[in-house]
């Protein structure tokens, strides 16, 4: 309510000076107005590159009835009514959105639901049809069965009928395209064309989101393609390359939920086995410049098994570390290395040492993967993974097993994350280009502003001047590369600012990965700047915990600890010019209540002791890579 009043005050002003300013030129609003790119990115843009609506096979089955139009309106800050009848509005609008409905069977569940029953001859499909019409619970049961059948590659022939499906996909794609164009407003809000390519081998998640830089004139010449059941992304890459060749347009893919791939997302070998080829590595690096590191179905930064010395590793792995996506194959520890992003960045260095190309030189973003058409990543405003998980008294502790028997519960879902992009303007072109150059970062929800520059001559004094400009002039931003042959060690400008309506910051860390002389990949986490440095002296190389102001009983916290902003210039004390390395930043907030804690207050629940009631939210930046000089 307060926000509404504030907005009105901001828009209309209080002094009635609205008339008589004809000399003011009006840069926005017309839609066709030219949007100028700034010299360097000045303002971070927040968005979601991964959102499902009723056009997604599973989202519809789980009950959502909201369309891409509802999704776009919600992202732009409008109030919409959720499928379960709740009013929903973002406290702050997003700057961009990609609706990524599953290409496979685009609109199919809705079509099945809408179809006259007598046309459905397959007995299994008839059963699903009837279950869906029973109501939300039946619908969710039907969906669990459909996903399970999909994982076993056992969907009824009629559901896969190629001719029908392709036609339906085309018609849904085309009409959505018009909606996306209607809501795209250069300079103010960017709506991208995109889809999810749900590549899955067994129940192993190899999903990618495909995002186009272009408008309907080019994107309209293609339609989303169905994934294969193989473990290789070759076909989507072929599709992307063919699109670029035919239209002169641009397209990229963002893999997600590596944590549910059972080790297949970041392999050391070619998919399916054998040594990785340089051609494969090159293609992957070019077409997949960004990876989604955090989302509702868990966080893929680091796992304690791989990073035993990192006390903050393992955020949001509970429930997800048990098995693959569909829960039809348990996970064993040897699979983790192919699933977590920090390890992938290290594997990238290893592979580059072997064949001269790094397939895993990618940036990172967060997104929601919400199946409610509502892009929510704030703990106190979380609309859940799918419609069955919209705010209700049962969602925190209910089992969420997708047709399997054990392991996952509602609270395992994270209210995470968003994509932060350092773009030179809020346009498709500028945001896409920032993704291509990896000048992006991930947040588990809070909108922290994070800058990260690497160079060779940054000094503490730089922070007194216009250090952002200096960062671009004398160094490279996140996602960039430093080449060897310079004197001394690389220095980094690191700066983090809290979310203006969020929690204070605990600390800022630099995570370094490298390949040592014996050819083994190593990692180390450095605390580089933290709040209350006077009282918090490092012990054994680690800064002590920041403390905890969370009151679980009321789901509140206080900003009496931590700092609103942290900045430093950091030089790698262990730099070896002969060793290839990467550096990325992790920003830690002070502890805050999690969404189940807010639910417990709202619905007067007694949570079981295993439920996560508080957490330290965080941001991860894309890395800066160091390449030794060729000798």
Among residue numbers 484 through 503, which ones bind other proteins (CB under 8 A)?
495-502
Q: How many C-beta neighbours within 10 Å does residue 91 have?
A: 11
Least Cβ distance, residue 264 to other proteins (angstroms): 33
* 329 lines the binding site for other proteins (CB under 8 A): no
Stretch touching other proteins by CB under 8 A, among 116-124, 235-243, 263-271, 589-597: 116-124
Stretch touching other proteins by CB under 8 A, among 167-175, 217-225, 269-277, 316-324: 167-175
Kindly list the strands in the beta sheet with 298-299, ordered across the sheet, starting from the edge strand earlier in the chain: 298-299, 290-295, 363-366
Least Cβ distance, residue 222 to other proteins (angstroms): 17
Count of residues making up the chain? 631
* 24 lines the binding site for other proteins (CB under 8 A): yes
Least Cβ distance, residue 402 to other proteins (angstroms): 25
Cβ closer to other proteins: 522 or 565? 565
Among 87, 245, 464, 630, binds other proteins (CB under 8 A): 464
Interface of this chain with other proteins, residues 393 to 412, rule: CB under 8 A:
none
Q: Write the CB contacts of 5 (distance below 8 Å, at least 6 apart in sequence).
A: none
* 541 lines the binding site for other proteins (CB under 8 A): no
Cβ closer to other proteins: 30 or 393? 30
CA 333 to chain centre: 24
Stretch touching other proteins by CB under 8 A, among 65-73, 432-440, 479-487, 586-594: 65-73
Least Cβ distance, residue 138 to other proteins (angstroms): 9
Question: Do 560 and 532 meet the contact criterion of CB atoms below 8 Å apart?
Answer: no
Q: Write the CB contacts of 295 (distance below 8 Å, at least 6 apart in sequence).
A: 50, 256, 257, 366, 367, 368, 369, 414, 416, 417
Among 37, 86, 127, 130, binds other proteins (CB under 8 A): 130
Stretch touching other proteins by CB under 8 A, among 158-166, 207-215, 403-411, 507-515: 158-166
* 110 lines the binding site for other proteins (CB under 8 A): yes
* 468 lines the binding site for other proteins (CB under 8 A): yes
* 13 lines the binding site for other proteins (CB under 8 A): yes
* 163 lines the binding site for other proteins (CB under 8 A): yes
Stretch touching other proteins by CB under 8 A, among 436-444, 465-473, 483-491, 538-546: 465-473
Q: Write the CB contacts of 570 (distance below 8 Å, at least 6 apart in sequence).
A: 491, 492, 494, 510, 526, 528, 529
Question: Do 302 and 314 meet the contact criterion of CB atoms below 8 Å apart?
Answer: yes
Q: How many of the chain's residues bind other proteins (CB under 8 A)?
A: 77
Stretch touching other proteins by CB under 8 A, among 112-120, 221-229, 362-370, 433-441: 112-120
* 560 lines the binding site for other proteins (CB under 8 A): no
* 6 lines the binding site for other proteins (CB under 8 A): yes
Among 50, 62, 64, 67, binds other proteins (CB under 8 A): 67
* 86 lines the binding site for other proteins (CB under 8 A): no
Interface of this chain with other proteins, residues 562 to 581, rule: CB under 8 A:
563-565, 567
Q: What distances in angstroms separate CA 5 from CA 11, 188, 201, 480, one per listed residue? A: 10, 22, 51, 42
CA 31 to chain centre: 28
Q: What distances in angstroms separate CA 243 from CA 212, 214, 250, 255, 442, one per listed residue? A: 10, 11, 8, 19, 28
Among 137, 164, 234, 311, binds other proteins (CB under 8 A): 164
Least Cβ distance, residue 347 to other proteins (angstroms): 32
**Angle in degrees, CA 544, 546, 549, rounded to 5:** 145
* 31 lines the binding site for other proteins (CB under 8 A): yes
Stretch touching other proteins by CB under 8 A, among 437-445, 449-457, 514-522, 542-550: 449-457
CA 392 to chain centre: 25
Q: State the DSSP string of 291-335.
A: EEEEETTEE-S--TTT-TT-TT--TT-TTGGGB-TTSSSB--GGG
**Angle in degrees, CA 180, 425, 210, rounded to 5:** 45
Cβ closer to other proteins: 76 or 437? 76
* 166 lines the binding site for other proteins (CB under 8 A): no
Question: Do 268 and 351 meet the contact criterion of CB atoms below 8 Å apart?
Answer: yes
Least Cβ distance, residue 211 to other proteins (angstroms): 19
Stretch touching other proteins by CB under 8 A, among 24-32, 293-301, 357-365, 432-440: 24-32
User: What is d(CA 451, CA 464) in angstroms, rounded to the nearest whole number?
Assistant: 15
Least Cβ distance, residue 107 to other proteins (angstroms): 6
Helices (H) and strands (E) counted in the chain, each on its own, are 15, 27
Cβ closer to other proteins: 422 or 514? 422
User: What is d(CA 395, CA 282) in angstroms, rounded to the nearest whole number?
Assistant: 43
* 114 lines the binding site for other proteins (CB under 8 A): yes
* 473 lines the binding site for other proteins (CB under 8 A): no
Among 47, 61, 63, 68, binds other proteins (CB under 8 A): 68
Among 126, 145, 149, 158, binds other proteins (CB under 8 A): 158
User: What is d(CA 306, CA 342) in angstroms, rounded to the nearest whole number?
Assistant: 9
* 185 lines the binding site for other proteins (CB under 8 A): yes
Among 137, 182, 516, 548, binds other proteins (CB under 8 A): 182
Question: Do 90 and 34 meet the contact criterion of CB atoms below 8 Å apart?
Answer: no
Interface of this chain with other proteins, residues 503 to 532, rule: CB under 8 A:
none
Torsion, Cα of 591, 596, 599, 601 (10° steps): -50
Strands 481-483 and 475-477 come out as: unpaired
């Amino acid at each position: 309510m307060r926000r509404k009043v504030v907005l009105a005050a901001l828009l209309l002003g209080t002094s009635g000076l609205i008339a008589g300013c004809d000399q003011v030129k009006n840069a926005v609003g017309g839609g066709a107005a030219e949007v100028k790119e700034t010299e360097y990115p000045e303002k971070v843009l927040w968005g979601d590159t991964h959102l499902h609506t009723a056009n997604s096979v599973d989202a519809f089955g789980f009950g959502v009835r909201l369309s891409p139009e509802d999704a776009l309106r919600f992202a732009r800050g409008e109030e919409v009514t959720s499928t379960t009848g709740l009013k929903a509005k973002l406290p702050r609008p997003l700057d961009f959105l990609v609706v990524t409905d599953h290409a496979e069977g685009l609109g199919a569940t809705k079509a099945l639901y809408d179809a006259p029953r007598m046309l459905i001859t397959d007995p299994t499909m008839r059963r699903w049809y009837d279950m869906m019409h029973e109501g939300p619970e039946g619908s969710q049961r039907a969906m669990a069965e459909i996903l399970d059948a999909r994982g076993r590659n056992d969907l009824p022939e009629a559901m896969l009928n190629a001719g029908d499906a392709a036609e339906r996909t085309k018609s849904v794609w085309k009409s959505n395209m018009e909606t996306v164009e209607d809501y795209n407003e250069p300079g103010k809000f960017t709506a991208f064309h995109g889809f999810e390519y749900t590549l899955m081998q067994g129940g192993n998640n190899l999903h990618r989101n495909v995002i186009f830089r272009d408008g309907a004139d080019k994107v309209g010449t293609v339609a989303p393609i169905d994934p294969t059941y193989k473990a290789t992304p070759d076909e989507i890459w072929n599709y992307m390359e063919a699109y670029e060749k035919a239209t002169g347009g641009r397209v990229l893919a963002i893999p997600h939920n590596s944590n549910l791939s059972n080790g297949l997302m970041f392999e050391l070998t070619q998919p399916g086995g054998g040594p990785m080829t340089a051609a494969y590595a090159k293609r992957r690096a070019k077409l997949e410049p960004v990876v989604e590191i955090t989302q509702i179905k868990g966080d893929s930064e680091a796992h304690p098994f791989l990073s035993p010395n990192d006390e903050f590793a393992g955020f949001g792995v509970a429930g997800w570390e048990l098995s693959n996506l569909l829960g039809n194959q348990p996970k064993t520890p040897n699979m983790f290395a192919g699933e977590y992003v920090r390890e992938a960045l290290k594997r990238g260095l290893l592979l580059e040492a072997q064949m001269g190309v790094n397939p895993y030189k990618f940036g990172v973003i967060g997104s929601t993967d919400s199946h409610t058409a509502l892009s929510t990543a704030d703990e106190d405003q979380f609309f859940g993974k799918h419609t069955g998980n919209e705010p209700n008294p049962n969602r925190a502790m209910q089992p969420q097993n997708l047709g399997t028997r054990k392991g996952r519960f509602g609270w395992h879902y994270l209210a995470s994350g968003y994509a932060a992009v350092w773009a030179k303007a809020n346009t498709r072109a500028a945001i896409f280009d920032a993704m291509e150059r990896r000048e992006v970062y991930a947040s588990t929800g809070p909108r922290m502003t994070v800058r990260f520059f690497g160079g060779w001559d940054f000094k503490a004094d730089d922070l007194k001047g216009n250090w952002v400009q200096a960062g671009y002039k004398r160094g490279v931003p996140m996602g960039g590369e430093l080449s060897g042959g310079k004197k001394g060690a690389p220095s980094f400008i690191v700066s983090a600012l809290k979310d203006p309506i969020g929690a204070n910051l605990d600390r800022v860390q630099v995570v370094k990965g490298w390949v040592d002389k014996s050819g083994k990949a190593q990692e180390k986490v450095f605390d580089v700047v933290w709040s209350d440095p006077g009282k918090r002296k490092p012990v054994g190389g680690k800064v002590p915990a920041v403390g905890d102001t969370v009151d679980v009983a009321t789901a509140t916290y206080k900003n009496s600890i931590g700092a609103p902003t942290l900045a430093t210039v950091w030089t790698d004390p262990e730099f070896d010019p002969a060793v290839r390395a990467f550096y990325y930043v992790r920003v830690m907030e002070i502890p805050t209540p999690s969404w189940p804690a807010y639910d417990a207050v709202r619905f007067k629940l007694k949570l079981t002791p295993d439920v996560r009631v508080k957490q330290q939210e965080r941001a991860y930046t894309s890395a800066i890579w160091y390449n030794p000089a060729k000798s």
